[in-house]
A = this chain, B = another copy of it.
Amino acid sequence: MRIDCLQYANWSEKIFRQMREGGLDAIHVTIAYHENFRETVLNFEQWNGWFEQFPHLITKGLTTADIDLARKTNRTAIFFGFQNPSPIEDDIGLVEIVHTLGARFMQLTYNNQSLLATGCYEHNDTGITRMGKQVIKEMNRVGLVVDMSHSADKSTIEAAEFSCRPIVISHANPHQWFPALRNKKNSVIQAVVEHGGMIGFSLYPHHLKDKSECSLASFCEMIARAAEQYGTQNIGIGSDLCQDQPDSIVEWMRVGRWTKEVDYGEGSKDQPGFPAMPKWFRDNRDFNNLEEGLGAAGFNKTEIDNILGMNWYHFYNNNFGPIQ
């Protein structure tokens, strides 16, 4: 089983074919960064077009039954998520509407303060806001998973504790391995996994020790340490693959419509664009390298299958439907 719990590529038939070559059974794809509800609907429409155009390669994912079907028919199930709560605007009723349309993950913040919580780039962390608590309860009710990948520490810990269902950090790495601002401190990951949540390890070079030069061995050693610390069942992959995107897209991710100034986010004036991916993870086909690397780091076959897919499968299975 192979599931990648975060990608935002410049989607094309080529990439859909590479998903098959890499044996991806399911991928959580980002469908909104800064879009409001109406704009997000246009993105759902665009995916409907791809499902109609490439029915032999991809299929819409709503539950794990869609992953089972995808495996049986040699396709990849596509699950949707938002990196920002902008699609629900200021309307809690939109939580159920976006879930009905297929959304399965929603980040409560994207770097900045939102109506719901604080992003990891803010100076002051409010924790979960009044509306944030109401929205988490509603997300719990319908089966929309709280994702805190781009959130601040206190907000993340509070979300893990307040949510009555497990939450995730879909794409980030441990801060102790590489102290990027977006990587997560031990206390934060601990709060998430203690409540049954998951962390998906990121291949985005700004999150990697030695960035683009990070070795496969170093990445897999990091996973081995995390498995010891957080449990082999609470970890997976959230590659943050942004394949074939032009640099203008990373700029838009960072500034959206909230500023007229340049914001370099995880980049810098000298390196404003997308960094080069490590040689051993260029695209979906390189999940085969991850499998080898995890083997070399001492994981057995079952553990590798869990980390590369089954852990997410079980998580999806328990968290995408209405609360029981």
Contacts and interface: CB of A to CB of B under 8 A. Distances in A.
Interface in A75-103: 91, 93-94, 96-97, 100-102
Nearest to A100: B101
A250 interface: no
Interface residues of A, number: 16
A48 B101 contact: no
A166 to B, nearest CB: 23
A38 B97 CA distance: 12
Contacts of A93: 42, 45, 48-49
A48 B102 contact: no
A49 B95 CA distance: 12
Contact of A37 (B38, B100, B102): B38
A191 interface: no
The quantity of this chain's copies bound in the complex is 2
B37 A97 contact: no
Contact of A45 (B41, B96, B101, B102): B96
A44 interface: yes
Given A37-B38, A37-B41, A45-B91, A100 B97 contact: no
Contacts of A48: 93, 96-97
Sort A-B residue pairs by CB-CB distance and give the 4 closest, nearest first.
Answer: A45-B93, A48-B96, A38-B38, A100-B101
11 contacts: A37-B41, A41-B94, A44-B97, A45-B91, A45-B93, A45-B94, A45-B96, A48-B96, A100-B100, A100-B101, A101-B101
